[in-house]
Amino acid sequence: MTMSSPKHFSARSIFNITASVGGLALFLIVASLVLVPSLLGSPFHDYLLGVDRYRVPDSVSLVNNQTGVLLLPPNHAQDGHSDTVTREPSPDPDVPSSLADATKGVTDGTLVTKSVSTSEAPNPTKVIQFGELPSPAIFNGSGKSDLGNSDDDLVSSNDISAVVLPSSQPADSRLVDSRSCDLYSGKWIYDPAGPLYTNNTCPMITQMQNCQGNGRPDKDYENWRWKPEHCNLPRFDASKFLELMRGKTLAFVGDSVARNQMESMLCILWQVEAPKNRGNRRMQRWYFRSTSTTIIRIWSSWLVHKTSEPFQSVPDSVVKIHLDLPDEDFMEYLPKFDVVVLSSGHWFAKQSAYILNGTLVGGQLWWPKKAGKMQINNIEAFGISVESCLTAIASHPNFTGLAIVRSYSPDHYEGGAWNTGGSCTGKVRPVSTVVRNGFTDVMHEKQVSGFKRAVKRARAGSKLRLMDITEPFGYRPDGHPGPYRSPDPKKITKRGPNGEPPPQDCLHWCMPGPIDTWNEILLEVIRREFEDKL
């Protein structure tokens, strides 16, 4: 047998070794492509395969007390694709959880439309951000509608798909400083979490505002929440409120709408503690023992001095309103209040005579012809009364608390006044466009003007605030009792054969209902004032 030369043997050996190493390397590469992704997860797998797409997250985190909505058209699922995503609340109410890879690089207003077929995942999803809600979706509190040109300008809860975060960005980059955020420019959004209480969990509801107890058949009006444009309005935290108001007194002063708000506050707080009734004939007074917090209501229909005593030619049956004198019924208790919320305006539509600096200057539904032209009508009188009341509060030497003017509460008597065929019957959701009410608009304007004049005149250190709810709540005709004012099973709730509306209340607010948002705003105003001083 012929032996190979050493030189030939060496070349073949090197070739065999090289081939073996190459084969082993190829095997390792193939194995890594198969085994490593299963160990490290799909993001690494996507990276290795060069996949360039948005991944659908397993869940979406929602910050506590932060509500957003997805309102999708009824036919939003097509071709076997589903398109909603939800997450559980984050345990930290101050730090939003990210939307993971689903919103990486996505800014506010971005719609992530990548869908996954039902064969790829059990819950295929699509993420929608706040700024890109499909219409009809949201109801705007800035005087304009965000809805499309749909014949149906109302949104049903059946259109609700999920609740998501506005953005994956950190809270401080997405929202302005909550202390400077405008609470009154925003949108109404649907919150499937429901109301803060029910008519069965609060014994404080006046029967005329107990809409569910009076047989109102719909409930969606209880579930809409107000979302300011640049910050979040947290869901009311009763325990936090009581702690902020530890040892303090909150007083609601004004008309029946003030009572409406006070009862809403008590119903919310009642869910964590039943207060003690320590009231009398002059005031309602409720005491929360855990924090020594007191809630008070004092009736004051005009917030300024009224009398039935004779004055010149004014008939005894006409109430005399002294526009330049504050109502002593609450002023004598003012030094005991830490926060006072003022409500007025609607009584200026009632018959009355106006007196300013001891002179008869005008009236409402009364004025003698021989007296000549009135100097002041009821609208001007309202503005003057606001200035007079606030000026007296700000100048009181023993009052160091916070005075809040809750702006004119809009009524929704469409097509007439309360006694001339006006109606809110059939309103079951927020509207897309406010039906302008000239009286409401001008009353609000005069109230704000009176507030601003009082601020200019106030002494240094005075704390006067305007809680400007008028425009946002113009979108909520659904929030009134309407014809559901009593539990009477024989009450009329439908229009008559000639279209005449049934007797109804389109001024006060159902409980629970939109009025609960007033107290969420109130809590935020109080928080801004007191939280740093605890």
Show which residues are catalytic: 256, 505, 508
Report the alpha-carbon distance of residue 519 to residue 467 in Å, rounded: 10
Contact 249, 262 (CB under 8 A): no
Phi, psi of 346 (to 5 degrees): -70, -25
Report the alpha-carbon distance of residue 350 to residue 220 in Å, rounded: 34
Phi, psi of 236 (to 5 degrees): -60, 125
Phi, psi of 260 (to 5 degrees): -55, -45
Count CA atoms within 13 Å of residue 469 on its CB side: 27
Question: How is residue 342 written in tokens?
Answer: 């003022």
194 forms bridges with which residues in the sheet?
Answer: none
Checking phi first, is residue 395 left (phi over 0); if not, alpha (psi -120 to 50) or beta? alpha
Report the alpha-carbon distance of residue 116 to residue 109 in Å, rounded: 21
Would you list the DSSP string of 255-288? SHHHHHHHHHHHHHHHTT-PPEE---SS-EEEEE
Measured over the CA atoms of residue 6, residue 11, residue 14 and residue 15, the dihedral's sign is negative
Report the alpha-carbon distance of residue 194 to residue 130 in Å, rounded: 20
Report the alpha-carbon distance of residue 66 to residue 209 in Å, rounded: 28
Question: How is residue 63 written in tokens?
Answer: 């910050």
Question: How is residue 74 written in tokens?
Answer: 């009824």
Report the alpha-carbon distance of residue 234 to residue 525 in Å, rounded: 12
Contact 290, 242 (CB under 8 A): yes
Measured over the CA atoms of residue 366, residue 387, residue 520 and residue 243, the dihedral's sign is negative
Report the alpha-carbon distance of residue 86 to residue 68 in Å, rounded: 11
Q: Which residues of 94-108 are buried (b: 16+ CB within 10 A; e: fewer)?
A: eebbbbbbbbeebee
Which stretches does DSSP call E strand in 357-401? 359-364
Question: How is residue 332 written in tokens?
Answer: 């004598």
Place of tokens 């001008």: 442
Residue type, 126: K
- What is residue 405's three-state secondary structure? strand
Contact 526, 245 (CB under 8 A): yes
Report the alpha-carbon distance of residue 212 to residue 193 in Å, rounded: 18
Checking phi first, is residue 117 left (phi over 0); if not, alpha (psi -120 to 50) or beta? beta
